Chain A
Amino acid sequence: MAAAEQGVDAARKEKEEEEEQVVNPWEVSAGKGGIDYDKLVDQFGCQRIDDALIDRIARLTGRPPHCFLRRGLFFAHRDLNELLDLYEKGEKFYLYTGRGPSSEALHLGHLIPFMFTKYLQEAFKVPLVIQLTDDEKFLWKNLTIQESKRLARENAKDIIACGFDIERTFIFSDFSFVGGAFYENMMQVARCVTMNKAIGIFGFNLEDHIGKVSFPPVQAVPSFPSSFPHLFAGKDQLRCLIPCAIDQDPYFRMTRDVAPRIGYQKPSLIESRFFPALQGENTKMSASDANSAIYVTDSAKEIKTKVNKYAFSGGQDSIELHRKLGANLDVDVPIKYLNFFLEDDDDLAHIKKEYKEGRMLTGEVKQRLMAVLSEIVARHQRARAQVTEEMVDAFMAVRPLPNMFG
Chain B
Amino acid sequence: MGYTKDQLLARLQELKIDFTCYDHPVVLTVEEQAKHVGDLGGALSKNLLLKDKKHRLYVISALAGTKVDMKILSQRLGLGKGGLRMAPEENLLEVLQVPLGCVTPFALINESASAVSLLLDQGFKSKQICYFHPLTNDVTIALSSSNLDKFLISIGKQPAYVDLEAAPAVGKDNPPDLAHLVPSGVPNSSEQPVENTALTIVPHHQNNVPKETEVKAKPKVQSKGAETSSKADKPTTNTSVDKFVNDVFDIISPLFLSETLKKLDIKKEELSSILDDVRGRADPDLKSIAMTLKNASYTNGFHAGFKTMLHRGLDG
Are A and B co-members of a single complex? yes
- Which residues of A approach B to under 8 Å, CB–CB? 88-92, 122, 125, 160, 163-167, 234-235, 379, 382-383, 386, 388, 390-391, 393-395, 397, 399, 402-403, 405-406
B159 touches A90 (CB 8 A): yes
B303 touches A394 (CB 8 A): yes
B299 touches A89 (CB 8 A): no
Contact with A along B283-294 (1 / 0, CB 8 A): 011011101101
B268 contacts the other chain (CB 8 A): no
Q: Restricting to B277-316, which residues have a CB under 8 Å from any CB of A?
A: 284-285, 287-289, 291-292, 294-296, 298-300, 302-303
Q: Restricting to B157-192, which residues have a CB under 8 Å from any CB of A?
A: 158-160
B303 touches A90 (CB 8 A): no
B302 touches A383 (CB 8 A): no
B146 touches A394 (CB 8 A): no
For A394, A397, A399, A405, the residue with the greatest tally of chain B CB atoms inside 10 Å of its CB is: A394
B298 touches A89 (CB 8 A): no
Interface size in chain B (residues, C-beta < 8 A): 34
B5 contacts the other chain (CB 8 A): no
Could you name 13 residue pairs across A and B whose Cβ atoms are closer than 8 Å?
Answer: A90-B158, A90-B160, A90-B221, A164-B291, A165-B241, A165-B291, A165-B294, A166-B298, A167-B204, A167-B239, A234-B220, A383-B292, A405-B224
B288 touches A90 (CB 8 A): no
Contacts A125-B224, A379-B284 given; indicate if A88 touches B239 (C-beta within 8 A): no
A391 touches B299 (CB 8 A): yes
Determine which of A90, A167, A397, A406 lies in contact with B149 in the assembled complex, contact meaning CB atoms within 8 Å: A90
B242 contacts the other chain (CB 8 A): yes
B218 contacts the other chain (CB 8 A): yes
Contacts A89-B149, A92-B221 given; indicate if A394 touches B298 (C-beta within 8 A): yes
Other A-B pairs, 9, CB within 8 Å; known A90-B221, A388-B299: A88-B149, A160-B295, A163-B292, A390-B299, A391-B295, A394-B302, A397-B302, A402-B204, A405-B222
B293 to chain A, nearest CB (A): 9
B24 contacts the other chain (CB 8 A): no
B288 touches A382 (CB 8 A): yes
- Which residues of B approach A to under 8 Å, CB–CB? 146, 149-150, 153, 158-160, 204-205, 208, 218, 220-224, 239, 241-242, 284-285, 287-289, 291-292, 294-296, 298-300, 302-303
A230 to chain B, nearest CB (A): 14
Contacts A167-B204, A402-B204 given; indicate if A386 touches B296 (C-beta within 8 A): yes
B246 to chain A, nearest CB (A): 12
Question: Which of chain B's residues has its CB closest to A406's CB?
Answer: B222
A386 touches B292 (CB 8 A): yes
Q: State the total of A-B contacts with C-beta under 8 angstroms.
A: 78
- Neighbouring A residues of B153 by C-beta, 8 Å: 88
B223 touches A391 (CB 8 A): no
- Neighbouring A residues of B291 by C-beta, 8 Å: 163-165, 383
- Neighbouring B residues of A405 by C-beta, 8 Å: 221-222, 224
B276 to chain A, nearest CB (A): 13
Determine which of A92, A125, A167 lies in contact with B298 in the assembled complex, contact meaning CB atoms within 8 Å: A167
CA distance A163 to B292 in the complex (A): 7
B285 touches A379 (CB 8 A): yes
- Neighbouring B residues of A167 by C-beta, 8 Å: 204, 239, 294, 298
B86 to chain A, nearest CB (A): 28
CA distance A267 to B298 in the complex (A): 30
Contacts A92-B221, A122-B242, A405-B221 given; indicate if A163 touches B288 (C-beta within 8 A): yes
Question: Which of chain A's residues has its CB closest to B303's CB?
Answer: A390
B302 touches A90 (CB 8 A): no
CA distance A28 to B294 in the complex (A): 39
B149 touches A166 (CB 8 A): no
Question: Which of chain B's residues has its CB closest to A402's CB?
Answer: B218
CA distance A393 to B300 in the complex (A): 11
CA distance A235 to B219 in the complex (A): 13
CA distance A78 to B218 in the complex (A): 32
Question: Which of chain A's residues has its CB closest to B152's CB?
Answer: A90
CA distance A155 to B285 in the complex (A): 21
B278 to chain A, nearest CB (A): 15
Question: Which of chain B's residues has its CB closest to A235's CB?
Answer: B220
CA distance A394 to B287 in the complex (A): 20
Question: Which of chain B's residues has its CB closest to A386's CB?
Answer: B292
B298 touches A163 (CB 8 A): no
B208 touches A402 (CB 8 A): yes
- Neighbouring B residues of A160 by C-beta, 8 Å: 295
CA distance A391 to B294 in the complex (A): 11
CA distance A25 to B158 in the complex (A): 41
A159 to chain B, nearest CB (A): 12
A402 touches B294 (CB 8 A): no
- Neighbouring B residues of A394 by C-beta, 8 Å: 295, 298-299, 302-303
- Neighbouring B residues of A89 by C-beta, 8 Å: 146, 149, 159
A124 to chain B, nearest CB (A): 8
**What 10 pairs between A and B have smallest CB-CB spacing?**
A405-B222, A394-B299, A166-B295, A391-B299, A394-B302, A166-B298, A163-B291, A386-B292, A403-B204, A406-B222
For A386, A388, A393, A406, the residue with the greatest tally of chain B CB atoms inside 10 Å of its CB is: A406
- Neighbouring A residues of B224 by C-beta, 8 Å: 90, 125, 405
A383 touches B303 (CB 8 A): no
- Neighbouring B residues of A395 by C-beta, 8 Å: 295
